[in-house]
Amino acid sequence: MDNGIIKWIADEEVLQDFVADLSVLLLLLIIVVAVVLLSKGADWMIDGVVDLAERTGLPKIVIGATVVSLGTTLPEAFVSVMAAFLGNPGLALGNGVGSIIADTGLIFGMTCVLVAVPVNRFILNRTGWVQVGSATLLVAIAVIALITATAGEEPILGRWVGLFFLVLLAGYLYITYRWAQQGGQLTFDDEVEAAAPMGLPQAWSMIVGGLALVVVGARVLVPSASEIAIRAGVPDDVIAATLVAFGTSLPELMTAIAAIRKGHPEITVGNIVGADVLNVLFVIGAAAVAAPLAIPDNFYFFHFPAMLIILISFRVFISMADEAFRRWQGVWLLGVYAVYVTLQYALNVGGPG
């Protein structure tokens, strides 16, 4: 692939330089078009996922945790790997950790507040532990890297860590499929519906096409919105802590909104759990294989603790839930996310990316 094309796709600075020359009116038009693309793409993707679930007999939560989460994290993985190749490997760790915090704190929290999210205990009691375990493993390896780093050098996640994570990723996808087969009879009554009229090729076309629209919309919306914020005098660190971090999770957010509107919130919880696992094993793993990832100091005292607090809270909520997650649990997750963003600005802590 031509290096110039790679930079257009993966390099945030190239996109930011492009929008810097545009008028405010044109930037607003780009934002409107991007939102339309995001909304329509998410609708197509959810329709395709629901039809696929009905035809394969797999629970929607499982398809959300595998097919949808792979799709929504694939752009982040691509951007992270390309950024590592282009000499900015630090972006990858921030992409992974920042997306986990936003996905679980902001997006799942918002979903719980808006609608009753059903709990498939057979699946969540297993994938939920993988979700917390993969993040805890990342932190443990990072702490070991800090302890063993020589004086004056930043701790790094080496290529062997990336390979290890990718092996774990293959194991996760396989075991999730096995769990789905074992727990398929435990799907909810409202998941047993008449099969949609679309054929299997059309269902996959809607999933892939919808995902493409979501990715394109997200890639052009964030730089455009950031440029307007810069011109309005919003400080750079506030933009980094809000718009940029929020933008990395925009595909998951639009998927969640579409799933809620169409009455399938279980797709959202599957997508969030799967995306959290993949942000560690896939996004960070693939990027670490491309180039060793340095770990800044602020991850140890701020971003890693925030990630673990949110994920452990989510794990506790799974163990407490009967048939559905509670609204107050969503409020708690949203509150933790709000405190995280506020402290990031107030304490002048660098953004995860």
> Would you state the pLDDT for residue 194?
44
> Would you state the pLDDT for residue 19?
79
The answer to whether position 352 is within a domain reads no
pLDDT above 60 for 188: no
The answer to whether position 23 is within a domain reads yes
Number of domains in the chain: 1
CA 264 to chain centre: 19
pLDDT above 60 for 2: no
Which residue range is the domain that position 79 belongs to? 3-346
The answer to whether position 353 is within a domain reads no
List CB contacts of 193: < 8 A, sequence separation 6 or more: 54
The answer to whether position 351 is within a domain reads no
Q: What percent of the chain has pLDDT over 70?
A: 73
CATH number of the domain that 64 lies in? 1.20.1420.30
Mean pLDDT of the chain: 78
Residues 118-170: pLDDT tens digits? Answer: 777 766 777 788 899 999 999 999 999 999 988 778 899 999 999 999 999 99
The answer to whether position 42 is within a domain reads yes
Q: What is the pTM of this model?
A: 0.76
> Would you state the pLDDT for residue 6?
53
What mean pLDDT do residues 215-230 have? 74
